[in-house]
């Protein structure tokens, strides 16, 4: 056997190895998720598209919104929000799902509009979000709840199926009976309430507000009487309550709030917080 032939043998072997590797790389099947596959915090079960559409509508998502989907899976919620013009980002711990989401976004023509990050949902900064969507589990929702309540008042939180414990939802929607939705077909909406609890000084007297999430109770001390509040509620930074048969509605801005009353005509009122709620 000639020296040249001996030299060709390892080169030929190397070429065959490299060619086979390239061929395998080219024919390797793309990642396909399976319902129920294990994840860091929950197993993966996709939200039916019919409910995704209703969740986006429930949150009234527009082009001015910044939406973050926690546990974004195959990206369908993010892509749907992006189609409405929102700046939408999916947070997903599984890198294979992240890449799948990017491919799905490309197929939907949403590349650059629907974005995805490989990240831990508990460690992600949510401060810029105006809408949070999720399909997690009750215990995960409860672990996230303190963080969600610190978001800017008015931020909308939408969850598929699972609630927030004693934080009662502001609204809900169902896709039951809709084609393509046979299970996990209900979603809940919460609107992050402003912190209004405390002692407030106003021309009408001293307002003592007690707050439980978006629900308000308390008294208005006026003219030597302590009037018990009724129908107290917060929606974002908006507040409404009734005292002495008069309905007060207004806006809370830090330690100031102001608005109008319904007492035989529209009258204005304002208040300054003099004492923060006890910790």
Domain range list for the chain? 49-191, 198-274
Residue 224 in tokens = 């030597």
Give the model's pLDDT for residue 265. Answer: 64
Mean pLDDT score of the chain, rounded to an integer? 88
Residue 86 in tokens = 């929102």
Give the model's pLDDT for residue 264. Answer: 61
In this predicted structure, the answer to whether residue 33 has a pLDDT above a threshold of 80 is no
| Dihedral sign from CA coordinates of 65, 146, 117, 132 | negative
> What's the start-to-end Cα distance of the chain, in Å?
90
Residue indicated by tokens 């195959």: 74
DSSP 111: B
Residue 228 in tokens = 């018990």
Residues 84/63, Cβ–Cβ less than 8 Å: yes
pLDDT tens digits along 5-25: 444 454 444 444 444 444 444
Max Cα separation, the chain?
116
pTM of the model: 0.85
pLDDT confidence of 177, banded at 50, 70, 90?
confident
Residues 70/91, Cβ–Cβ less than 8 Å: yes
Higher pLDDT residue, 179 or 106? 106
Residues 131/65, Cβ–Cβ less than 8 Å: yes
Give the model's pLDDT for residue 270. Answer: 96
Q: How large is the average pLDDT for residues 159-187?
A: 92
**β-bridge partners, 188:** 159, 172
Residues 196/252, Cβ–Cβ less than 8 Å: yes
Which region holds residue 210: left if phi is over 0, alpha if psi is between -120 and 50, else beta? beta
The dotted CATH code for 49-191 is: 3.40.50.150
List helix spans (H) across 118-273: 138-149
How far is 14 from 11, CA to CA, in rounded Å? 5
- Supply the Cα-derived Rg of the chain in whole angstroms: 27
Give the model's pLDDT for residue 181. Answer: 87
Domains 49-191 and 198-274 share a fold: no
Burial call 116-139: b when 16+ CB within 10 Å, e when fewer: beebebeeeebeebbbbbbbbeee
What is the third-level CATH fold of 198-274? Lipocalin (2.40.128)
pLDDT tens digits along 239-267: 999 999 999 999 999 999 999 998 766 68
Residue 163 φ/ψ, nearest 5 degrees: -100, -170
How far is 87 from 89, CA to CA, in rounded Å? 7
2-6, 150-154, 260-264: range with lowest mean pLDDT: 2-6
């Amino acid at each position: 056997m000639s020296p040249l032939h001996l030299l060709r043998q390892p080169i030929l072997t190397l070429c065959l190895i490299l060619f086979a590797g390239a061929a395998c790389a080219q024919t390797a099947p793309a990642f396909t998720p399976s319902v129920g596959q294990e994840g860091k915090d929950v197993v993966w079960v996709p939200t039916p598209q019919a409910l995704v559409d209703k969740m986006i509508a429930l949150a009234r998502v527009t082009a001015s919104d910044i939406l973050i989907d926690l546990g974004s899976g195959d990206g369908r919620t993010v892509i749907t929000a992006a189609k409405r013009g929102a700046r939408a980002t999916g947070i997903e711990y599984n890198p294979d799902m992240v890449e799948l989401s990017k491919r799905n976004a490309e197929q939907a023509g949403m590349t650059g509009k629907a974005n995805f990050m490989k990240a831990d949902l508990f460690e992600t900064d949510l401060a810029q979000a105006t809408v949070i969507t999720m399909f997690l589990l009750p215990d995960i929702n409860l672990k996230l709840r303190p963080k969600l309540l610190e978001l800017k008042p008015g931020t909308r939180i939408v969850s598929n199926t699972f609630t927030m414990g004693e934080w009662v939802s502001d609204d809900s929607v169902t896709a039951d009976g809709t084609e393509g939705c046979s299970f996990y077909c209900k979603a809940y909406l919460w609107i992050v309430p402003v912190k209004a609890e405390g002692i407030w000084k106003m021309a009408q007297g001293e307002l003592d507000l007690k707050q439980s999430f978006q629900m308000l109770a308390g008294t208005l001390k006026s003219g030597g009487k302590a009037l018990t509040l009724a129908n107290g509620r917060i929606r974002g930074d908006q507040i409404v309550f009734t005292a002495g048969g008069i309905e007060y509605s207004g806006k809370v801005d830090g330690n100031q709030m102001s608005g109008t009353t319904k007492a035989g005509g529209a009258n204005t009122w304002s208040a300054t917080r003099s004492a923060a709620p006890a910790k």
